[in-house]
Amino acid sequence: MSTFTVATVNVNGIRAAAKERSEANRGILPWLEETSADVVLMQEVRADEKQTHLALAPALDAGWYLAQAPAAAKGRAGVGILSRSELKDVTIGFGHGDNGVEIPEAREFDDSGRYIEAKVASGIEGVGDVTVASLYLPSGSANTAKQDEKYRFLDAFAPFMNGRAERGQETIIGGDWNICHRRADLKNWKTNRTKSGYLPDERAFLDHVLGVWPDASTQVGDAEDVGRNGNPGGAAGDFYGAVEYAPGELAQQRLASGAAEDPQWFDVMRRLDPESMDVFSWWTYRGQAFDTNAGWRIDLQVATKGLNERARKAWVDKAAAYDLRWSDHSPVIVEYA
């Protein structure tokens, strides 16, 4: 049986990730030699194309293909795709929309280094080419302009995802989504209800594109979410943490639609492992978060229905020890067949 294996990882700066930290931790290059992945979706590359080619030269010499979307702001964001086979129809940004409908609100992010996609041969019988995309969704920061940017991004990205699903192109969007959807997706959810990454409107966005499965109803605003005194982050529609952002037509449409009842996009790892409470992909470098597994599951592979049905196994390639990490994120890997 032919398989197609995809990894997604926020590299936290490709030049830093490629450095040899110790004899035991030689960075991303040995990992690329050893991984079973056919495609690696990278986020937060934080380098221009020349710098990236230099950092990844041994891997590129060994046959990996690279497509990259650097950010206009030097040293920030940046996404890329590494593939063992040729990448076709590379597209940067998502303002072009789908089904011939452009998304003007997305043009703000055309050169922000947050989205790149390409077609690649899957090798899976009956599937052929699939679209693979690397996403670096804004991290946000409550009560700053960064949170406004994140809300604007969500406004523009939801209609893009809806349009892509309608077109029927089998797609995997892997990346750092910077949102925990459910309580099981972060260790300390109660103390993070006013922190970007777990705000009600962010979680409601994922409800909108992914539905509420495996729950019977949304966790946003349920009895456990609000507790005895209410959720300090408010409710969906409050857009907690915004400074000057005001929800426009796209946000209002998303709020009116609510959670997807018949979702066309699927959180592949959660679909394969609905009960897990401790499979995280990011841990802050501060304190003992990695050692105590006080993490966040913010790195996702979100796939259209046909590919979700072909997912066979998914795992986080977590380093064996803190000092063996070459990023504060770990690769999330899915095997499709």
What is the rounded distance in angstroms from the CA atom of residue 179 to the CA atom of residue 265?
Answer: 16
Annotated active-site residue 136? The verdict is yes
Res 227: pLDDT: 93
Res 118: pLDDT: 98
Res 327: pLDDT: 98
Q: Which of 98, 148, 176, 201 is catalytic?
A: 176
Q: Tens of pLDDT along the chain (337 residues)?
A: 799 999 999 999 999 999 999 999 999 999 999 999 999 999 999 999 999 999 999 999 999 999 999 999 999 999 999 999 999 999 999 998 776 678 999 999 999 999 999 999 999 999 999 999 999 999 999 999 999 999 999 999 999 999 999 988 999 999 999 999 999 999 999 999 999 999 999 999 999 999 999 999 999 999 999 999 999 999 999 999 999 999 999 999 999 999 999 999 999 999 999 999 999 999 999 999 999 999 999 999 999 999 999 999 999 999 999 999 999 999 999 999 9
Q: Which of 115, 181, 240, 329 is catalytic?
A: 329
Domains of the chain (ranges plus CATH)? 4-336 (3.60.10.10)
Res 219: pLDDT: 98
Annotated active-site residue 181? The verdict is no
- Binding residues for Mg(2+), as ranges, are 10, 44, 176, 178, 328-329
Q: Which two tokens stand for residue 290?
A: 């990695």
What is the rounded distance in angstroms from the CA atom of residue 322 to the CA atom of residue 299?
Answer: 19
What is the rounded distance in angstroms from the CA atom of residue 67 to the CA atom of residue 88?
Answer: 10
Res 97: pLDDT: 77
Q: Which two tokens stand for residue 81?
A: 């795709």
Asked if residues 220 and 210 have their Cβ atoms less than 8 Å apart, the reply is: no
Q: Which of 38, 115, 136, 240 is catalytic?
A: 136
Res 168: pLDDT: 87
Distance of CA 149 to the CA centre of its chain: 16
Nearest residue to 162 via CA among 52, 41, 304, 295 = 304
- Binding residues, as ranges, are 10, 44, 176, 178, 328-329
What is the rounded distance in angstroms from the CA atom of residue 247 to the CA atom of residue 105?
Answer: 12
Residue listed under structure tokens 């095997």? 335
DSSP string, 230-282: --TT--TTS-TT-SS----HHHHHHHHH-S-SS-SEEEHHHHH-TT-S---SB
